[in-house]
Amino acid sequence: MSLAVRGRPARGRWDTTLCVCVAILAGLVLVAVTAPVWWTESTTATDPLAALQAPSIEHPMGTDAVGRDMLARVLGGARVSLAAALCVSVVGGLLGAALGIAAGLAGRLGDGVVMRVFDAMLAFPPVIFAMAVTLALGVGLVTACVGVTLSAIPYIGRVVRSDVLRVRGSGHVEAAHALGVPPWRIVVRHVIPHVAPTVLVQIASLFSFAIISVAALGFIGLGAQIPTPEWGTMITEGSALVLLGKWWVSTFPGIGLLLVTAATAIIAERVRVVLDPRRTPPRGIL
Amino acid sequence: MIRFLAHRAGAALASIFAASLLAFVLLRLVPGDPARQVLGQFATPEQLASFRSENGLDGSILEQYWRFIANFVQGDWGTSFASGAPVRELIGQRAPATVELVLVAFVASVGLAVLVALVSTYRHRPWVDRIASAIAFIGMGTPPFWLGLLCLFVFFQQTHLLPGPEGQLSPDLAPFPERTGFVTVDAALAGRPDALGSALAHLILPAFTLGFAMFAFLLRVLRSSLLEIADEPFVSAAESKGLSRWSAFVRHALPNAALPALTASGLVLGQLLTGSVLVEAVFDWPGIGGLVVDGIANKDYTVVQVFIMLSATIYVLVNLLVDVLAATIDPRVAVVPERRAGRRARGLLPSPQPLDPAEPR
């Protein structure tokens, strides 16, 4: 049976699912970034007279409880959430990779210290660790992002470290060492290029975790505060209104979240297939 | 095996200890002086001092840490600043509701994930397969709190098929004796079909909301491991001996594919602990999660701190249990890592868990 090649797109053919996902993400980014030009309603200006209007031509996504235009807020929320997730995944990925590389190259003492700290962080379920950090630093969008970043670092650090240990023991590093190449050069030329794909894969899969975790923290009141247009916080604002039949306030931000997380998860899967061919590709994913 | 058990239990203890240290450092950073917060700005220095000594906030940092640990282990979890009740009592009252919800969600999602994974993999049918993996991705991308609201809108607000966010029972039910604290069990014990029906109807939406992400996650892990061994000789051998493809899959492939899913279920518990906070907030469920969200809203951080420490403890213990179970199923897992990094470098030891356990190893 030809199961082994399922999921990996045949050479030279378009991968429809991937194209759709990239199109969704790119379209959303484009729309969100250019929004202030073509949709000039304010994201924060209130208008009590226009509160809780159902979607119409004037307000395509309706208005919320204090009369803010939902389309403007969903687009603003896209900017906030995407930027937050981008920061979290890049900073978290690079920091985790740096710590992982350091731990993998350090002697037993350094390795032990870093790994024990990671173990302590891994003892908490990820979002709950982010909750603890956010509480400690004070509630807000930035601290929520710091919390999510910190909670992701040990996962990435451990994966990168095990890669470094593998590369460190391999023949080409030994050969370079035997040839008298200085240690820093071995690290830069022979270790880092080998772990870079792993780091990229991890950053890609971190993105969807980041966006949903920041929204979850916002939803329970630890993340972005009112009136910042952030998707999780907006869903909270709409949660009581849903029971009154005013579905639009929390539905649209949720659709945004769903689209972004699903699209980035699938893209991350494909990035893994392309960059990490040593591991068997996950088969039959869409 | 005993060596493995001792090693894993030691590691679990060490990580709970490390987690407590981390939690202590983090929670001491919480802005604001708790003594001032509780007693208000007009408290005298004597009152502040006596409050601090009562709550273990005086003395050196080491003393404070020791007291923090000792109190936590002994179950003295402090007093909720908002309600004045001991946190332990509050959590005790609300634990059964959370346990009930989490158990139902867990059992349902594991059962469904196994079923759907089998159906989508036992024959090579691209379309069934595609639908199953689409469900998996959508499930993992759906924020549980939003899914809950959507369900409430469709099944309660619009169609009135299921009860709304009013907790575990309809408010107009005649009371029945509380024996175990678990509403469904109590209703059944009291011989009250109406109460049992109401309790079950109230469980459907929260359990679905909580379980959907887990279902999707387990489905993905199970699918990829089932596909990996679908073509193994022992499955074909079972088939050639006369078993149908389905029975060969259920009886021979599934047990062999279950290990990654079991390992992943430790992570699933992390999702559940977080998810229960979010879902309970949506459905006004009288469990621990609702307590935590209220605690955040009222700046009643003692409750939140206890929740954070408790969930770390439970998480570590469940992962220990999962490791032990995995080792009983597959004795190859029970290899105690040597202290030398060289063995790891030579690839003799399993690599650590990636962020996403669905990733094939």
Cα(B55)–Cα(B42) distance, rounded to whole angstroms?
A: 19
The residue with greater pLDDT, B198 or A280, is B198
Cα(B77)–Cα(B17) distance, rounded to whole angstroms?
A: 17
Cα(B152)–Cα(B167) distance, rounded to whole angstroms?
A: 13
3-class DSSP assignment, residue B58: coil
Cα(B238)–Cα(B361) distance, rounded to whole angstroms?
A: 26
pLDDT band at B341 (very low <50, low <70, confident <90, very high): very low
- Mean predicted confidence (pLDDT) in B294-305: 80
Span A39-85, pLDDT tens digits: 877 777 777 777 777 788 888 888 887 878 888 889 989 999 999 99
pLDDT band at A116 (very low <50, low <70, confident <90, very high): confident
Distances (CA, A) of A179 to A173, A174, A193, B286, B345: 10, 9, 19, 68, 21
- Whether the CB of A222 is below 8 Å from some CB of chain B: the reply is yes
Q: Which among A128, A202, A272 is the nearest to B273, CB-wise?
A: A128
Mutate to test the interface with A, among B125, B214, B356, B361 (most CBs of A within 10 A): B356
CB-based contact B134:A286 (threshold 8 Å):
yes
Q: What is the CATH number of the domain that holds A87?
A: 1.10.3720.10
Six-digit token string for B40:
């208000």
Check A128 against B308: CB less than 8 A apart.
yes
Q: Which range is least confidently modeled, A26-35, A75-84, A202-211, B329-338?
A: B329-338
Query: Tokens 């994913």, residue?
Result: A285
Sign, CA dihedral A108-A111-A114-A118, equals: negative
**Res A210: pLDDT:** 92
Report how many Cβ contacts below 8 Å link chain A to chain B: 218
Q: What is the ipTM of this complex?
A: 0.82
Six-digit token string for B30:
């919480």
Q: Which range is least confidently modeled, A218-222, A248-252, B22-26, B218-222?
A: B22-26
Burial pattern A196-209, b for ≥16 Cβ within 10 A else e, equals ebbbbbbbbbbbbb
- Mean predicted confidence (pLDDT) in B147-173: 84
Residues 6+ apart with CB under 8 A from B123: B245
Tell whether A46 is covered by a domain.
no
**Res A98: pLDDT:** 94
**Res A51: pLDDT:** 76
**Res A286: pLDDT:** 37
Q: Is the pLDDT of residue A155 over 60?
A: yes
Q: What is the average pLDDT value for chain A, to the nearest integer?
A: 84
Among candidate residues B127, B212, B216, the one with its CA nearest the CA of residue A284: B127
- Mean predicted confidence (pLDDT) in B64-89: 81
Number of H helices, E strands in chain A: 10, 0
Among candidate residues B214, B200, B199, the one with its CA nearest the CA of residue B111: B214
Check B270 against A128: CB less than 8 A apart.
yes
- Mean predicted confidence (pLDDT) in A2-28: 70
The residue with greater pLDDT, B165 or B100, is B100
Tell whether A49 is covered by a domain.
no
Span A163-176, pLDDT tens digits: 898 888 888 888 99
**Res B346: pLDDT:** 42
Beta bridge partners of A69: A63
- Whether the CB of A54 is below 8 Å from some CB of chain B: the reply is no
Residue B72's identity, in one-letter code, is F
Tell whether A263 is covered by a domain.
yes
State the number of CA atoms in the 13 A half-sphere of A229 facing the CB. 26
3-class DSSP assignment, residue B29: coil
The CA distance from A45 to the nearest CA of chain B, in Å, is: 25
Six-digit token string for B288:
């621990």
**Res B40: pLDDT:** 67
Q: Is the pLDDT of residue B106 over 80?
A: yes
Check A202 against B351: CB less than 8 A apart.
no
Total domains, chain A: 1
The CA distance from B255 to the nearest CA of chain A, in Å, is: 20
pLDDT band at B35 (very low <50, low <70, confident <90, very high): low
Distances (CA, A) of B3 to A265, B324, B334: 39, 12, 9
CB-based contact B138:B131 (threshold 8 Å):
no
Tell whether A286 is covered by a domain.
no
Span A224-237, pLDDT tens digits: 887 888 898 888 88
Which residues of chain B make contact with A128, given a CB cutoff of 8 A? 270, 273-274, 307-308, 311-312
CA closest to A109 among chain B residues: B341
Q: Which of residues 233-252 of A touch B (CB under 8 A)?
A: 235-236, 238-239, 242-245, 247, 250-251
Residue A120's identity, in one-letter code, is A
Six-digit token string for B183:
């509403």
pLDDT band at B31 (very low <50, low <70, confident <90, very high): low
Q: Which among A205, A251, A285 is the nearest to B356, CB-wise?
A: A205
- Give the N- to C-terminal CA distance of chain A in Å, as an integer: 19
- Mean predicted confidence (pLDDT) in B19-28: 82
Q: Which range is least confidently modeled, B89-93, B114-118, B164-168, B206-210?
A: B164-168
Q: How far is CA B351 from the centre of its chain?
A: 24
Query: Tokens 């050639």, residue?
Result: B240
- Mean predicted confidence (pLDDT) in B159-179: 79
Burial pattern B119-137, b for ≥16 Cβ within 10 A else e, equals ebbbeeeeeebeebbebbb
Which residues of chain A make contact with B355, given a CB cutoff of 8 A? 152, 155-156, 159, 202, 205-206, 209
The residue with greater pLDDT, B266 or A214, is A214
Cα(B309)–Cα(B127) distance, rounded to whole angstroms?
A: 45
Beta bridge partners of B13: none
Peptide bond into A227 cis (omega under 30): yes
Q: Which among B11, B312, B345 is the nearest to A124, CB-wise?
A: B312
Q: Is the pLDDT of residue A1 over 70?
A: no
Query: In the 8-state DSSP scheme, what is residue A63?
Result: B
The CA distance from A129 to the nearest CA of chain B, in Å, is: 8
**Res B41: pLDDT:** 67
pLDDT band at B157 (very low <50, low <70, confident <90, very high): confident
Query: In the 8-state DSSP scheme, what is residue A48?
Result: G
Q: Is the pLDDT of residue B10 over 60?
A: yes
The residue with greater pLDDT, B177 or B100, is B100
- Mean predicted confidence (pLDDT) in B103-111: 91
CATH topology of domain B2-31+77-345: MetI-like fold (1.10.3720)
Cα(B254)–Cα(B273) distance, rounded to whole angstroms?
A: 27
Cα(B349)–Cα(B361) distance, rounded to whole angstroms?
A: 13
**Res A277: pLDDT:** 59
Q: Is the pLDDT of residue A2 over 60?
A: no
Check A262 against B141: CB less than 8 A apart.
yes
Q: Is the pLDDT of residue A99 over 90?
A: yes
Q: Which among B129, B149, B345 is the nearest to A235, CB-wise?
A: B149
The residue with greater pLDDT, B276 or B174, is B276
Q: Is the pLDDT of residue B161 over 50?
A: yes
- Mean predicted confidence (pLDDT) in B23-33: 73
Burial of A140 (0-12, 13-18, 19+ CB in 10 A): middle
Domain that holds residue A82: 14-38+63-279
Among candidate residues A173, A282, A199, A96, the one with its CA nearest the CA of residue B346: A173
Tell whether A19 is covered by a domain.
yes
Cα(A21)–Cα(A96) distance, rounded to whole angstroms?
A: 27
**Res B297: pLDDT:** 80
DSSP B168-202: SS-TTSPP---SSS-HHHHHHHTT-HHHHHHHHHH
Q: Is the pLDDT of residue B139 over 80?
A: yes
pLDDT band at A284 (very low <50, low <70, confident <90, very high): very low
Cα(A127)–Cα(B203) distance, rounded to whole angstroms?
A: 24
Cα(A31)–Cα(A25) distance, rounded to whole angstroms?
A: 10
Q: Which range is least confidently modeled, A188-202, A248-262, B115-129, B164-178?
A: B164-178
In percent, how much of chain B has pLDDT > 90? 6
Tell whether A271 is covered by a domain.
yes
Q: How far is CA B3 from the centre of its chain?
A: 28
3-class DSSP assignment, residue B86: strand
Which residues of chain A make contact with B29, given a CB cutoff of 8 A? 136-137
Residues 6+ apart with CB under 8 A from B285: B97, B98, B101, B165, B167, B168, B206, B279
Cα(B158)–Cα(A242) distance, rounded to whole angstroms?
A: 10
**Res B343: pLDDT:** 43
3-class DSSP assignment, residue B79: strand
